[in-house]
Amino acid sequence: PSSGNITIDPLKIVAEELKFLNKNIRQLLGSGHPILDTVAKYYTQSEGKHVRPLLVLLMSRATAFAAKQPRPDTPNLSDTNIDMPISSPTVLYDNNPDQTSPSSPLTETPKEARYAFPDDATILPSQRRLAEITELIHTASLLHDDVIDHSTTRRSAPSANTAFGNKMAVLAGDFMLGRASVALARLRDPEVVELLATVIANLVEGEFMQLKNTASDEKYPAWSEQTITYYLQKTYLKSASLISKSCRAAALLGQCAPSVVEAAYSYGKNLGLAFQLVDDMLDYTVSGSELGKPAGADLELGLATAPLLFAWRSRPELGQLVGRKFSGEGDVERAREIVIQSDGLEQTRALAQEYADKAIASISFFPAGEAKDGLEEMCVKVMKRRK
Ligand code: FPP
Ligand code: MG
Ligand code: MG
């Protein structure tokens, strides 16, 4: 954490690596179909926060000098594997109906398509690639999410569904997952493949849990401890799974000892939960122009998130509104009023703080250094963020 007048900027610590992120991602997304190429690369034009790649890179550096335990069945690959072309720079399907694969691993990599990374031995090329894969999976989920949520803006610009329509947005998301999977397979690490494949399934499971506020579907649900348990489980699947499992994967690629792998996972899980709790709080407290995406969207979508769930405990009349997903006349406004008057937002912040503290505690035994400071600072920043 920033102590005294020393300020820690996590972005600066891995700036060299992040500089190449967008270029490498765009390379992974190249398609011979010009429109697909445009839609797939659309969200890489606007400025994302790159939270997930940032965490993977910081975790990779922070664990570089932690305890190691080589995993016998993973070949320690050189960059050559990563360098194999994934996308073809030429037009696909051009008078060639047999061309089902855009590239063959046997073709020579054109110079301009070579994987770009700085000359720094602390972060492995496979860990850098993992950072790119996490951003691809996240962006794919946003493409789908904006369709599901009917969102019109994302990253302070028209959302992809608004700019290109639902069909193309969904397909571009699928394409991204496909390319992310190819890149993942090229890491030749089955455990890491399994982790990230599980993340994709978890994102869908979380989204499904969100469609229903509870496991049952009552008209007049009553508040119980289960309400919060269900919400936290959903939140893990929707948000913390990607962060925690990619932190774990970074440690695995770095051949870290099991205790370090577990710590990386625990850090990611707790930070991920804190991150989403704050996200759900900001939906109530910050304007859409500041967020760069619609604010107050959750209630409009019929979603009861942490601030409301905590408010509901002391204001049982919210149950009826939850039951009909705030679809009645004036429900959204009434629910918002009750939440603002209650201590729901404060309780949400307090719970987020607990998770952020747990994240910091998880990595307390990591060797001291800039990257560890950066990971700790991320926990401070998550609590302070306004977008
Ligand atoms: C943003 O949440 C969305 C997610 C964190 C995940 C959404 C997951 C899916 C749509 C499942 C399908 C995904 C894949 C990869 C197959 P939000 O709507 O609360 O946040 P927002 O305010 O940024 O829109
Ligand atoms: Mg959304
Ligand atoms: Mg959503």
pLDDT in tens, 138-171: 999 999 999 999 999 999 899 999 999 999 999 9
Tell me the C-alpha distance between 288 and 387, whole Å.
10
314 alpha carbon – ligand 1 mean position (Å) = 30
Residue 309 has pLDDT above 80, yes or no: yes
Per residue, the 3-state secondary structure of 195-262, as one string, reads: HHHHHHHHHHHHHHHHHCCCCCCCCCCCCCHHHHHHHHHHHHHHHHHHHHHHHHHHHHHCCECHHHHH
Does an H or E element contain 154, and which?
strand 153-154
133 alpha carbon – ligand 1 mean position (Å) = 16
Q: Side-chain half-sphere of 340: how many Cα atoms within 13 Å?
A: 12
161 alpha carbon – ligand 1 mean position (Å) = 14
Task: Quickly list H helices, 286-387.
Answer: 288-291, 297-300, 306-314, 318-323, 331-341, 344-362, 370-384
pLDDT in tens, 273-285: 999 999 999 999 9
Ligand 1 pocket test, candidate residues 133, 136, 139, 141, most atoms within 8 A of CB? 141
177 alpha carbon – ligand 1 mean position (Å) = 14
Q: What is the pLDDT of residue 64?
A: 94
CA trace torsion 110, 76, 21, 369 (10° rounding): -150
Which amino acid is residue 65, in one-letter code? F
Tell me the C-alpha distance between 25 and 131, whole Å.
10
Tell me the C-alpha distance between 215 and 233, whole Å.
11
Ligand sitting nearest the alpha carbon of 240: 1
Give nearest CA residue, ligand 1 atom 13: 141
For the CA of 148, the closest atom of ligand 1 is 10
Could you give the C-alpha distances from 172 to 25, 47, 166, 216, in angstroms and in order?
A: 14, 19, 10, 34
Tell me the C-alpha distance between 371 and 292, whole Å.
29
The torsion angles phi and psi of 158, rounded to 5 degrees, stand at -60, 140
Ligand sitting nearest the alpha carbon of 145: 1
Average pLDDT along the chain: 88
Q: What is the pLDDT of residue 106?
A: 38
What ipTM did this prediction achieve? 0.96
Ligand sitting nearest the alpha carbon of 207: 1
Residue 82 has pLDDT above 60, yes or no: yes
Tell me the C-alpha distance between 78 and 319, whole Å.
57
Listed range (5-9, 50-54, 76-80, 197-201) with the worst mean pLDDT = 76-80
Could you give the C-alpha distances from 87 to 23, 81, 104, 325, in angstroms and in order?
A: 14, 14, 9, 44
Does an H or E element contain 157, and which?
strand 157-158
Residue with the bigger pLDDT between 183 and 219: it is 183
Residues sharing a CB contact under 8 Å with residue 227, sequence separation 6 or more, in sequence order: 214, 221, 309, 312
When pLDDT is cut at 50, 70 and 90, the band that residue 289 belongs to is confident
What is the mean predicted confidence (pLDDT) over 36-41? 96
Ligand 1 site, CB within 6 A? 137, 140-141, 144-145, 148-149, 151, 177, 200, 203-204, 207, 238-239, 293, 297
3-state secondary structure of 153: strand
What is the mean predicted confidence (pLDDT) over 363-371? 96
Does an H or E element contain 173, and which?
helix 166-185
